[in-house]
Every structure is written in structure tokens, then in C-alpha cells.
Amino acid sequence: MGEQRWALRIGWIGLVGVSLGIMGFGAVIAIAPMGADELLYRADGLASIGLGLLGGLLALIPYRRRERWAWIALWFYPVFWTIHLVSGLPPGKDHIHQVVFIALSLLGLLLPVRAFFPRRQTVVR
């Protein structure tokens, strides 16, 4: 049981890290848009802040309670960042942050998988 607790702790910390990164990128874009269409960039920044906040709250409350729906919903993170990486989408051109966010989110979801889907105990009669 102790291993599951540590796996879950590492998992939610990793997912909160991804959430903070998304909120950070969003804040930078909302405060200092770097493109011709400032309003669009500001809107994207605010949407990113909201996405990071929502994911962070999911990781901090229902995920830590081992609620399966939160674990399933947080699969949005690795899917989102993989699409960004494969499609060459912003922010940035180095894509290192995307690889880090994919790795952190996969670690956060796969490491504690037994906490969300425990093995069934067989009843001996």
C-alpha cells in the first residue's frame, strides 16, 4: 500500500507541474502577446491559464482521492502535448518543453495506475 501512496504522490506532483507550466505559458502570452493579432494571443493566453487551472484542480482534488474519472480526464495532457509536438505547434520552436510535459504527464498517469485500478482479489472457497 505504501508504494501506491508514493506513486500517487509523484503522479499528482508531476501533473500539477504540467498544469503550472501551461498556466505560465498562458500568463506570458496574455501579458506580452508576441504576434500581429494581440487580442487573439491574449485570448489564447487566458484559455491556457484556464486549462492549466482546471488540470491542476483535477490533479489536486479528485485525482488525489483516486477518482477514476479524473485519471481519465487528465489523459488530455499527454494527448494535447503529443499533438502539439507532432504538429509543430507553438509555443516555442525547440519543443523541449513539449517532450518534458509529455513525459511528466505520462509518468503522472502510468506510475500510479494501480491506485486507480487495483488488482481484483480472488476469493478462495
Grid cell in block for residue 80 = 494535447
Q: Which residue type sits at 91?
A: P
Q: Which residue type sits at 18?
A: V
Grid cell in block for residue 51 = 486549462
Could you read off the pLDDT tens digit of each residue along the chain, which spans 125 residues? 577 889 999 999 999 999 999 999 999 999 998 878 899 999 999 999 999 999 999 999 999 999 999 999 999 999 999 998 898 877 667 788 899 999 999 999 999 999 999 887 766 66
In the chain, what are the domain boundaries? 1-115
Please report the pLDDT score of residue 5 as a whole number: 87
Please report the pLDDT score of residue 113 as a whole number: 94
95: left (phi over 0), alpha (psi -120 to 50) or beta: left
Closest CA to 13 of 80, 109, 118, 113: 109
